[in-house]
Amino acid sequence: MTTNNTSNSFLSQAKSVVLENISNEQFGVSELADLMNMSRSSLLRKIKKQTSLSASQFIREIRLQKAAELLLETELTASEISFEVGFSNPSYFTKCYREYYGYPPGETKTRKEEDRTIEEKDEEETKGTIIKNKNLNRYIIAITTLSILAIIYIFKDKFTASDIKENKEKSVAFLPFENLSEDNSNLYFINGVMESSRNNLQKIKDLRVISRTSTEKYRNNPKTVSEIAEELQVNYLIEGSGQKIGNEVLLSIQLIDANADSPIWAEQYRYKLENVFELQNTIAKKIAFAIEANVTPKELELINIKPTENIVAYDFYLKGLENQNEQSEAGLYKAISNFEKAIEEDPKYANAYAQIAICYFYLDVNKIEKKYLDKLNEYADNALLHDSTSELPLIAKALYYINANDYKLAIPYLDKALEYNPNASSVVLILSDLYARVVPDTNKYLTYALKGMKLNIESNDSVSKSYIYLNLSNALVQNGFAKKASEYIEESLKYNPGNPYAPYLKNFIDYANNKDLKTLTNKMLIEWKKDTTRTDITQELAKMYYFQEDYSNALRYYEKYINILNTNKIDLYPAENIKIAHTYNEMGFPSKAEQYLNKYKDYLEKDESIYKGAALAVLYLYENMPDKAIEAYDKFSQEDDFQYWVILFIREDPLLKRMQNHPKYEEVIGKIEMKFWKQHQKLKEALEKEKLI
């Protein structure tokens, strides 16, 4: 008796907790266990023992029972109720409801009325009658129980398969659609329909959606569905073909379960051009529902947004995208022209404004003279004016701040863009790069690099994979994970031996593991000879000679570096100017030294990074003020998340010799080193806890 009371109390409490969180689609077994103050395993065992249900089935049944109540007591639609009881996908809600009750949600009131009529009739017929044959009741119960057990046994494998489907990763790749139009120039339109459908799916956080650049190589590829899915590491593929005929678009599409190598559904569509957005939205939602993705009401709302009501404007927009994908300066100018034509047709076309801004960003990127900065800002602002709830206008504004060197102001726009498009891998990579270079935060750099790998690494071609591994290995070594960085840089080279940056980074990762400066210098010299116009390698090679106080060779390569900057009208690595000044001084060119010292001071005035204290200390050492240098380094030792390169090379700088005899030298430099390794250990524990490394 006590056991039963305890059982009832437990189940009642569990049901109450679920009901309190009924509309929260994210509420599941782990959340229930936490609120019940139980471990997940204990909760699973107890629910299973007392109900013969899994914990997730227990929660689902409570949701469905509450849905039935709402359907009877309110005027809400089945779709609205699905969200009220925590189902983010109305189609999946209907499926579960039908399986549980034997009929769809829309028939609930009718069925209940029929049941009441039958009950009333039975009550009249059996009024005053008492069934005395208890053995017959027991017999019926026994037969019913055996029947239920038999049904469960027969369908056991089907239940297992369903559970597996629910646990399967929801990863999707659109294979290039085939253009069936007689006019090959219509390919841009078919590609546009495909790309827009993909973009809609990317707004769903529960999905991993592969980018177009990763799948384009399969346009005329003879590989089988299974082979392609294995290469892309996806569970679902979408194939399609279409044609544009007059003012209509015809499209055939099928969703394929890659593991079973069989279509889940296939449909043909014939839409008027003015209804093409409805077609794209329909495709995206059908795919999401077919693979049972959790789609929130907010995501559905974003999917249903029409970018423009003007089909002519949209046509120009798609042509602009094709030009943009040419990845050339000429292509960018052609793209701008087509996007401008789109705006002429629809002056409120936010994405067209955003794409023009993005084109201007790439026309100006890495150039000292920003010819298009004002235009970039103007178009980005216009994009945001007309739509601030999609990622493109937000990315455009972020790119303006990046080209204007206001990097910190770019980050909130990028963060917001990820809210609207969780699959925006380009945004993740930009954030990773910003935290690596210009808003230094090694922790966030590594976090976004790991996230970028999760989003992209299995969904890109070998060249893209190589760069993602390169970025990740750089993030790892900057945080002091030198051995792990070695593993990933080898992966980068494996996927693309011709990657021009991987050998360069590998040399520095090797140095982080062996601390051999001469070997590093020789390796960098080999890399420099492969391409003597490389700005990065030229300045690094000069710096290696500088660290070894080989000022003759240091000056030789610093002057080559300066010449590259002047020729290309770019301004990179301003922190190097103090080393250039010291090199000129040591080689007997005081006026040149003064010129680069002033450049360094100008850089310090604008520097707001965490490295300002260390940069200021080097200036004090140059000016023979060791006490002030000690103070500046001491202040720097209080900073968080600085890069491992500081630890690796701080003692190599010949200017530090000017304070090596200072009584606080070892104490202060030791504090910097100790601070880094404490941060490293803290980060390592956090990443291990999240199972990211």
Query: Which residue has better confidence, 456 or 329?
Result: 329
Cα–Cα distance, 245 to 679 (Å, whole number)? 62
Cα–Cα distance, 440 to 22 (Å, whole number)? 42
Torsion 267-271-273-278 (CA) sign: negative
End residue of a domain, out of 247, 280, 306: 306
Residue 634 lies in a domain: yes
DSSP label of 638: T
**Residues 227, 259 within the same domain:** yes
**Residues 257, 181 within the same domain:** yes
Mean pLDDT of the region 606-619: 92
Per-residue pLDDT at 10 exceeds 80? yes
Q: For the ranges 130-144, 299-313, 506-520, 670-684, which has the lowest average pLDDT? A: 130-144
**Residues 255, 337 within the same domain:** no
How many other C-beta atoms are found inside a 10 Å radius of the C-beta of residue 619? 19
Q: In this structure, what CATH number is given to the domain that contains residue 184?
A: 3.40.50.10610
613 closest CA partner among 593, 629, 590: 629
Query: Which residue has better confidence, 641 or 91?
Result: 641
Mean pLDDT of the region 536-543: 95
Mean pLDDT of the region 204-221: 76
Contact assessment for residue 396 and residue 380, using Cβ atoms and an 8 Å cutoff:
yes
Contact assessment for residue 481 and residue 488, using Cβ atoms and an 8 Å cutoff:
no
- How high is the pLDDT of residue 117? 54
Specify whether the backbone of 248 is left (phi greater than 0), alpha (psi in -120 to 50) or beta: beta
**Residues 661, 639 within the same domain:** yes
Query: Which residue has better confidence, 78 or 525?
Result: 525
pLDDT band for position 33 (50/70/90)? confident
Mean pLDDT of the region 173-186: 75
pLDDT band for position 185 (50/70/90)? low
- AA identity, residue 579: K
Residue 248 lies in a domain: yes
- How high is the pLDDT of residue 576? 94
Cα–Cα distance, 282 to 128 (Å, whole number)? 58
H-helix or E-strand spanning residue 138: helix 134-154
Can you give the pTM of this predicted structure? Answer: 0.55
pLDDT band for position 91 (50/70/90)? low
240 closest CA partner among 232, 251, 230, 248: 251
Per-residue pLDDT at 651 exceeds 90? yes
Cα–Cα distance, 579 to 596 (Å, whole number)? 9
**Residues 330, 255 within the same domain:** no
Cα–Cα distance, 583 to 558 (Å, whole number)? 9
Residues 6+ apart with CB under 8 A from 144: none
Cα–Cα distance, 398 to 412 (Å, whole number)? 8
User: Per-residue pLDDT tens for 554-571?
Assistant: 999 999 999 999 998 888
Strand, coil or helix: 131: coil
pLDDT band for position 129 (50/70/90)? very low
Specify whether the backbone of 515 is left (phi greater than 0), alpha (psi in -120 to 50) or beta: left
Contact assessment for residue 41 and residue 104, using Cβ atoms and an 8 Å cutoff:
no
**Residues 283, 179 within the same domain:** yes
**Residues 341, 410 within the same domain:** yes
pLDDT band for position 184 (50/70/90)? low
How many other C-beta atoms are found inside a 10 Å radius of the C-beta of residue 313? 21
pLDDT band for position 172 (50/70/90)? confident
Contact assessment for residue 509 and residue 482, using Cβ atoms and an 8 Å cutoff:
yes
Residue 446 lies in a domain: no
- How high is the pLDDT of residue 565? 92
Mean pLDDT of the region 367-371: 87
Per-residue pLDDT at 347 exceeds 90? yes
Q: In this structure, what CATH number is given to the domain that contains residue 411?
A: 1.25.40.10
**Residues 279, 342 within the same domain:** no
Residue 108 lies in a domain: yes
Per-residue pLDDT at 160 exceeds 50? no
536 closest CA partner among 561, 512, 556, 559: 561
DSSP label of 457: G
Residue 538 lies in a domain: no
264-273 as b/e, with b when 16 or more CB fall inside 10 Å? eeeeebebeb
- Classify residue 300 by burial, with Cβ atoms within 10 Å: 0-12, 13-18, 19+: buried
Residue 151 lies in a domain: no
What's the half-sphere exposure (Cβ side, CA atoms, 13 Å) at 444? 17
Q: State how beta strands 171-174 and 208-209 pair.
A: parallel
**Residues 271, 320 within the same domain:** no
pLDDT band for position 169 (50/70/90)? confident
Q: What are phi and psi of 484, to 5 degrees?
A: -65, -35
Q: In this structure, what CATH number is given to the domain that contains residue 33?
A: 1.10.10.60
Mean pLDDT of the region 159-166: 38
Query: Which residue has better confidence, 692 or 582?
Result: 582
Mean pLDDT of the region 445-449: 85
Instruction: Please state the length of the chain.
Output: 693
Specify whether the backbone of 493 is left (phi greater than 0), alpha (psi in -120 to 50) or beta: alpha
Per-residue pLDDT at 179 exceeds 90? no
Per-residue pLDDT at 378 exceeds 90? yes
Give the C-alpha distances (Å, rounded to integers) separating 144 from 51, 57, 150.
17, 22, 10
Per-residue pLDDT at 152 exceeds 50? no
Q: Tokens 């994009």 identify what position?
A: 383
pLDDT more than 90, % of the chain: 39
**Residues 181, 298 within the same domain:** yes
**Residues 189, 274 within the same domain:** yes
Which domain covers residue 636, as residue numbers?
619-689
- How high is the pLDDT of residue 73? 85
Cα–Cα distance, 571 to 279 (Å, whole number)? 48
Query: Which residue has better confidence, 585 or 250?
Result: 585
pLDDT band for position 411 (50/70/90)? very high
Paired tokens of 417: 């863009």
- How high is the pLDDT of residue 644? 93
User: Per-residue pLDDT tens for 472-507?
Assistant: 899 999 999 999 999 999 999 998 998 999 999 999
- How high is the pLDDT of residue 487? 93
Q: For the ranges 28-42, 359-373, 497-511, which has the lowest average pLDDT? A: 28-42
pLDDT band for position 158 (50/70/90)? very low
- Classify residue 130 by burial, with Cβ atoms within 10 Å: 0-12, 13-18, 19+: exposed
Residue 372 lies in a domain: yes
Cα–Cα distance, 513 to 424 (Å, whole number)? 34
**Residues 302, 326 within the same domain:** no
Residue 152 lies in a domain: no
- Classify residue 473 by burial, with Cβ atoms within 10 Å: 0-12, 13-18, 19+: buried
Q: Tokens 């524990």 identify what position?
A: 685
Identify any residues that bridge with 238 across adjacent strands, giving them in sequence order. 174, 255
End residue of a domain, out of 362, 390, 419: 419
Average pLDDT over the chain, rounded to an integer? 83
Looking at the structure of the chain, the number of domains it has is: 4
End residue of a domain, out of 283, 306, 329: 306
Give the C-alpha distances (Å, rounded to integers) separating 31 from 21, 88, 249.
10, 17, 47
The four Cα atoms 619, 623, 626, 632 give a dihedral, to 10 degrees, of -20
DSSP 506-563: HHHHHHHHH--HHHHHHHHHHHHHH-TT-HHHHHHHHHHHHHTT-HHHHHHHHHHHHH
Angle at 380 between CA 375 and CA 382, to 5 degrees: 95
Give the C-alpha distances (Å, rounded to integers) separating 186 from 176, 190, 254, 632.
14, 7, 21, 63
